[in-house]
Amino acid sequence: MAHTSVDEHIAHVRTLLAGAFGGTESVILREALGRTTASAILSPVDLPLFRNSQMDGFAVNTADLADGVTLPIVGEIPAKPMTPAPLERGTTVRIMTGAVVPDGADAIIPVEDTTVTDAVVTIHRGRRSGEFVRDRGSDVHEGDELLPARQQLGSRHLAVLAAAGIGHLDVLAKPRVAVITSGAELIGPGEAPALGQVFDANGTAVIAAVEAAGGSVTYAARVTDDVDLMLAALEAAADVSDVIVTSGGISMGDYEVVREALEPRGARVGHIAMQPGGPQATAVFEGTPVLCFPGNPVSTQISFEVFLAPILREAAGLAPAVRVVHRLEHLVDSVPGKRQFLRGRALPGGRVEIVSGPGSHLVAGLAASDVLVDVPEDVTELQEGDAVECWIL
């Protein structure tokens, strides 16, 4: 895999993961935010469900109206379950917003267009039939499409489903991802480090990245440099996941536990022409594809964004991440023969500045960025004002 380009490795990963994800699941409505519809959803009812008033006011028959007409008020219809008596000609009833419009009434006169004295109301001008009346089915008819297939659900989509009485719906199943970080030096955030120990940033970062890309983390572990422990973690992960992500342990030195566990089982280990994130490996373990990212935190996170996040988003039905073109704020040098993903910050006016050096350990620089500046492998220098493609983080 030496000298493999980024695009070639993307294609390889896509082939490896082809068919890994799929299926649907039923969720209750209140848990559907952010999920994606598996198929078009049709309305089981008319909306509105019944003819109702758009205003607080008076229900009338417009044939009785003339400028300055006075009608007796013979009742009241609140917004609650009830079947109101038909409206008799030459009379009116008070009605509240959302209340059932009685048979015989064809318009609502808003309160502000009337004067009430005792039990009679003076209506100051005539009205057309249908004014301020919401007819049954005027929004949606039974059988109409409420939402299309592969619609990512926001609050407005949940509102229409709730209005139609839909309490459960089928959505695309979330990709199931296992996350394994490796290294004898790793400890969890919050623990007290001894000399030579480092906090495991990758476990936190990759789990969050999976969820942000629409996936579900079904297994997570931190493993020392012990091959048997790594194999046990991989076995547990393969039982509950569609894809396994590892970080660390794939370089060419000693104590590279992921490579030692997977290379004898056919893992493809090598180097990609990119920085950061050059070391990469892929494998299949007990039928489950494995993506092995390098252990430096920036390398891991950028590898995830480049190779796995787009596939997860697609499988979960989410929109692709946004890529835009900005102009450089200053000169940039790039490593020959390597596609660089520089950490940048978007500026007003469509410009971008680089906020961190190229080091794969510079996690604060990545945190300070909001874009990755994609520099092609055949480019060694960019001038101030040059256009660059930026991946929005």
Q: What is the pLDDT of residues 335-346, one digit of tens each?
A: 899 999 999 999
Report the percentage of the chain scoring pLDDT > 90. Answer: 93
**What are the residues whose beta carbons fall under 8 Å from the beta carbon of 150, sequence distance 6 or more?**
36, 37, 172, 317
**What are the residues whose beta carbons fall under 8 Å from the beta carbon of 219, sequence distance 6 or more?**
178, 179, 180, 236, 237, 240, 241
Q: Tell whether the model's pLDDT for residue 195 goes beyond 90.
A: yes
Class at the top of the CATH hierarchy for domain 323-392: mainly beta
**Of residues 2 and 76, which shows the higher confidence score?**
76
pLDDT in tens, 142-151: 999 999 999 9
Residue 20 has φ and ψ, to the nearest 5°, of -70, -30
Q: Tell whether the model's pLDDT for residue 55 goes beyond 60.
A: yes
CATH number for the 25-44+141-171 domain, one of 3.30.420.40, 3.90.105.10, 1.10.3720.10, 1.50.10.100? Answer: 3.90.105.10
pTM (predicted TM-score): 0.88
Q: Tell whether the model's pLDDT for residue 289 goes beyond 80.
A: yes
Residue 1's pLDDT is what? 43
CA dist 302 and 338 (Å) reads 14
CATH number for the 52-134 domain, one of 2.170.190.11, 3.40.980.10, 3.20.20.140, 3.30.1330.120? Answer: 2.170.190.11
Helix axes 309-316 and 6-17, enclosed angle (nearest 10): 40
Using DSSP, state whether 364 is helix, strand or coil: helix
CATH number for the 6-23+174-316 domain, one of 3.40.50.450, 3.40.50.720, 3.40.980.10, 3.30.43.10? Answer: 3.40.980.10
CB contact at 8 A, 187 and 199: yes
94-98, 213-217, 255-259: which has the minimum mean pLDDT?
255-259
CA dist 75 and 110 (Å) reads 16
| Residue whose token pair is 């039905």 | 317
Residue 155's pLDDT is what? 97
Q: Are strands 145-147 and 41-42 parallel, antiparallel or unpaired?
A: antiparallel
- Pick from 285, 251, 287, 255: which is nearest to 269 by CA? 251
CA dist 71 and 73 (Å) reads 6
Using DSSP, state whether 282 is helix, strand or coil: strand
Six-digit token string for 376: 């092609």
